[in-house]
């Protein structure tokens, strides 16, 4: 299933400042090839409020306007604000506004691209 293929991957390309780490930003880009067409992958991964449908760490997702609150399996919560959404281009960006993680100024983009033989690259 598409959700199992995506769930194991780090799907976030973010700019992160880690307290106590050297000044500046840290950029990370992760990707995974998914054996499904981009439209099917986007239908699942492109739902900003649907992270709980495919990410095993997320127990629940609730969205109010451009803000989603994710409840993790351990009960902790992460609040994220959608900063850009482009359904036609199959990508969206968001920023973490509240979380228990040791990061600040976290910004990320999830993108689905077409690859060879009707497969997808999720970045």
**Contact 113/38 with Cβ under 8 angstroms?**
yes
- Please list the ranges in the chain whose pLDDT falls under 70: 1-24
| Per-residue pLDDT at 6 | 54
Put simply, whether the predicted model's pTM sits higher than 0.85 gets the answer no
pLDDT single digits (tens) 55-69: 999 999 999 999 999
pLDDT single digits (tens) 38-51: 999 999 999 999 99
| Per-residue pLDDT at 110 | 96
**Contact 115/33 with Cβ under 8 angstroms?**
yes
């Amino acid at each position: 299933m598409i959700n199992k293929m995506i769930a194991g991957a780090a799907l976030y390309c973010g700019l992160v400042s880690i307290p106590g780490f050297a000044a500046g930003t840290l950029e990370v880009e992760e990707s995974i090839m998914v054996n499904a067409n981009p439209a099917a992958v986007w239908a699942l991964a492109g739902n900003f409020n649907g992270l709980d449908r495919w990410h095993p760490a997320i127990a629940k997702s609730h969205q109010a306007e451009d803000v989603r609150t994710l409840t993790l399996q351990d009960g902790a919560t992460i609040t994220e604000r959608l900063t850009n959404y482009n359904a036609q281009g199959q990508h969206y960006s968001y920023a973490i506004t509240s979380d228990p993680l040791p990061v600040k100024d976290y910004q990320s983009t999830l993108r689905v691209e077409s690859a060879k033989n009707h497969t997808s690259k999720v970045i």
